Structure 1
Amino acid sequence: MGEFNGTSFSIGGYVKAEARFTDADNGDSEFDGTARQSRLNFTAKRNIEGHSLMGFVEGDFYGGDATGSTYDWRLRHAFLKVDNLTLGQTWSGQFLASVPYDVPHLDFFNAGKGNTGGNGGVVRPDMVMHYQMGDVRFTLQDPINDDADYPDFVINYAKKFEGGHAASIALAGRDVARSNTTNSSDDSEFGAALIYAGKYSLGATTLHLNGYHGEGQGVYSGFGYGGAWHPTLRPAVDANAAGELIKTTGIVAGVSHKFNDKLTGAVRYAQIEADETSAGAEDTLKIGHVNLVYNYLPGLDFGIEWRDQNLATHGTRPAGQQLELMAMYKF
């Protein structure tokens, strides 16, 4: 950290090395190792005429193709914050309304699955505006439907309580394309969902429960009509072949526990169910996680996680079991 002309600067991020052993339900087992998740961020802060101003930029090394062999820099966040207003590319309102209350897990390509913020492909819209008023956050963001008449939006009330308890409730709405093959359509319909997230602390043990229900949020959660969302495989998941919006329901439940100052662990179960799906497609995505993380030195963690899912959700994440071993140094 440093300071120049009244502006403080800092560099952060982490280096993460991970090994994944995949036992797919269909196909051969495989091993994959990578450090591409490692990331760097830069922060600049200054007080100007009684206003707090901050700029933040962060990237990792997945490039434009997370399943390929490119390792170029990929922009994750680039935003400015002036007092209670945040503007730029950063977390969606759906993500902030649910994932901060989620069960801790290591699964990078399924982070937040079960919540409305679980689709990594749209979790950081190109442009987001958050305005915070006490415990209420109002969000407008670049719509997924390119022909939408108005921004996607989220109204979120979140409250932290003494003892580590917290709860959040939100309403999310968007102009949903009725086309089943594309997210760009001037033939659209309003879709909305109610989001709940919370955690309850019992000393060293924390209980987590998140969920949502409604229309038009399947693309944000990553599952809906036809199965899992993928930018090339399933561009649209919120409407059926007749152009009618379907409903999806997500739930996340689990427990995390701090065994001592060094060792923590968690058990997590998540699912998303679509009330209608295409012929031959599963209507429910189910994912489970069990993990342990050991803090070897300040900033240095070693972890292990077993996970299982019934459907493929990404090019590197087929249906079946997976075991991850990781080492992470945060700075």
Structure 2
Amino acid sequence: MFRPARRITELTAIGVSLMLPLGVANAQTNPADIEALQAQLQALQAQINELKSQQKATQEEIATASDNVVTRTPKGDLKIGETTLSIGGYIKAQATLANNGYGDNKASEIVTPSSLRSVDEDLGSRNSFSARQSRLNVGTNTPLAGDTLKTFVEIDFYGADEEANEFVSNSYAPRLRHAYGSWGSWLAGQTWSTFMDLNGLGEVDAFGQHASVIFVRQAQLRYTQPFAGGSLQFALENPEDGGDDQSIPDIVGRVNFDGDWGHASVAALARQLRVDNGEDDDSEWGDAYSVTGRFPTIGQDDIRLQVNYGNLGRYMGLRPYPDAQIENGEIGGVDAWGASAIYRHYWNDEWRSSLAYSRTGLDETGSGNMTDSYDTTFVNLMWSPMVNTTYGIEYQRFDLEEVDGDTFDLDRVHFSAQYNF
């Protein structure tokens, strides 16, 4: 292997040996000999300079190559040049036992107000197994222009049911959950709505199925301005009121407050409701408000509270209430309210339980099969015997009453095993 440093050392030694005769020569040394030695020294110096240049180029190549080498960070992520690549997600197995004939549909582990209306008290219990909530995500972090460029993509397997079967392969389609990029204060792409506060969810297996929880993912453009003790957020988000006629995006503002005392957040939503079907053409502005809080109590325990009011529609509780209704060619928003409380208690470092109650109600005159009220109650026991591993059992109760007096209820026991990676 060519070693410029060693070659330079050898040439230096040769130069010293050439200089020795100059030191011992007497005054009668032939001038021609001195000139010859000087010429040899100049040639030697030129070779040394060339080798130094080659050595510098080799070092630069080594440095460039090391920048492209894949290394591992202390957290276990991959470092490729200046970009940190993280791969994560979890495998989650679920089993449910429900009464009133609930469980025949392929996504039966997710209870919605619409699917709840399919229960039949004349039918017996149903059992269902699934691993569809399992998730896979990929994220990156890259220093860029004095800040950090972040990207995140995540899928689960709640894709189109018509493509699935439970006869042989249990083939379920992937579904996009998140796909966004952010740089500095700006975020663009699909993720949780700015009107939604994750602190309102709590640790329950009926993820996102609280009657009053704000639960929406959608494409958006968001700006976040941090301040001491919190942040201010503003976003333009994908509009939808059931007719898909909107010409103006949903507008969301949120202010967050955080400290040792806990977390509190207030959000406001303004949205255009519109009908434009070739016969009717009308629009109206709707508004909604949400307040959430998470507060530590005793030891590791905490309580989470949420109150929502206004033209909530699809934003609340997997849409128990319509966004709007049309009468005589005119569109009008449907107002509702919702409130929830979730208390989590740690029995010890491995065992914990959550008790969650959520209630909603219609805030105006309705008719027919429109939801009048919707309640949910969950209580669970979670066990984490090892890092990244959680086993759970949860009792779930769903109650829905329509304006015309019809009622639908469901009791269900949910088992789960989750393995994070």
**TM-score, length basis structure 1:** 0.84
Q: Is the 8 A contact 1:175 1:190 kept in 2?
A: yes
Q: 1:112 to 1:186 in 2, by over 3 A?
A: farther
Question: Which residue does the alignment assign to 2:420?
Answer: 330
Question: Which residue does the alignment assign to 2:250?
Answer: 152
Alignment partner of 1:170 is 2:272: no
Q: Is the 8 A contact 1:240 1:246 kept in 2?
A: no
Q: 1:111 to 1:130 in 2, by over 3 A?
A: farther
Q: 1:297 to 1:284 in 2, by over 3 A?
A: same
Greater share of helix: 2
Measure the CA separation in 2 of the matches of 1:252 and 1:35: 28
- Please state whether the residue corresponding to 2:196 is helix, strand or coil: helix
Cα deviation 1:283-325 (Å, max 9, x = unaligned) = 001111001111021000000110101139xxxxx73111111
Alignment partner of 1:80 is 2:176: no
Q: Which runs of 4+ in 1 moved over 4 A?
A: none
| Matched AA of 2:221 | M
- Please state whether the residue corresponding to 1:323 is helix, strand or coil: strand
Q: 1:186 to 1:4 in 2, by over 3 A?
A: farther
- The alpha carbon displacement at 1:29 in A equals 1.2
Higher mean displacement: 26-35 or 57-66: 57-66
Question: Which residue does the alignment assign to 2:313?
Answer: 218
Q: 1:41 to 1:280 in 2, by over 3 A?
A: closer
Question: Which residue does the alignment assign to 2:105?
Answer: none
| Matched AA of 2:251 | F
Q: Is the 8 A contact 1:102 1:210 kept in 2?
A: no
- Please state whether the residue corresponding to 1:272 is helix, strand or coil: strand
Q: Is the 8 A contact 1:263 1:295 kept in 2?
A: yes
Alignment partner of 1:253 is 2:253: no
Greater radius of gyration (CA): 2
Percent identity (aligned): 28
Aligned residue runs from structure 1 range 177-188, under 5 A: 177=274, 187-188=282-283
Q: Is the 8 A contact 1:178 1:244 kept in 2?
A: no
Greater share of strand: 1
Number of aligned positions between the proteins: 302
Q: 1:111 to 1:280 in 2, by over 3 A?
A: closer
Measure the CA separation in 1 of the matches of 2:127 and 2:297: 38
What is the alpha-carbon root mean square deviation over aligned residues? 2.3
- The alpha carbon displacement at 1:240 in A equals 5.6
Question: Which residue does the alignment assign to 1:233?
Answer: none
Measure the CA separation in 2 of the matches of 1:136 and 1:328: 34
Q: Is the 8 A contact 2:376 2:396 kept in 1?
A: yes
Question: Which residue does the alignment assign to 1:266?
Answer: 354
Question: Which residue does the alignment assign to 2:296?
Answer: 201
Q: 1:306 to 1:66 in 2, by over 3 A?
A: farther
| Matched AA of 2:374 | L
| Matched AA of 2:191 | T
Among 18, 29, 32, which residue is 2:128 paired with? Answer: 32
- The alpha carbon displacement at 1:148 in A equals 1.8
Question: Which residue does the alignment assign to 1:51?
Answer: 147
Q: Is the 8 A contact 1:103 1:267 kept in 2?
A: no
Q: Is the 8 A contact 2:340 2:359 kept in 1?
A: yes
Question: Which residue does the alignment assign to 1:320?
Answer: 410
Measure the CA separation in 2 of the matches of 1:319 and 1:161: 40
Q: 1:198 to 1:55 in 2, by over 3 A?
A: same
Q: 1:266 to 1:38 in 2, by over 3 A?
A: same
Which structure's relative contact order is higher, taking Cα pairs within 8 Å and 6+ residues apart?
A: 1
Measure the CA separation in 2 of the matches of 1:90 and 1:190: 24
Measure the CA separation in 2 of the matches of 1:241 and 1:18: 43
- The alpha carbon displacement at 1:176 in A equals 1.6
Q: Is the 8 A contact 1:193 1:213 kept in 2?
A: yes
Unaligned runs of 5+ in 2: 1-76, 101-118, 166-170, 402-407
| Matched AA of 2:238 | D
| Matched AA of 1:284 | S
**TM-score, length basis structure 2:** 0.67
Measure the CA separation in 2 of the matches of 1:77 and 1:68: 22
Higher mean displacement: 64-73 or 300-309: 64-73
Alignment partner of 1:2 is 2:78: yes
Measure the CA separation in 2 of the matches of 1:111 and 1:44: 30
Q: 1:67 to 1:291 in 2, by over 3 A?
A: farther
| Matched AA of 1:283 | D
- The alpha carbon displacement at 1:268 in A equals 0.6
| Matched AA of 2:352 | T
Question: Which residue does the alignment assign to 2:221?
Answer: 129
Cα deviation 1:17-43 (Å, max 9, x = unaligned) = 010111126233100000111010001
Cα deviation 1:128-154 (Å, max 9, x = unaligned) = 112110111111111114322321021
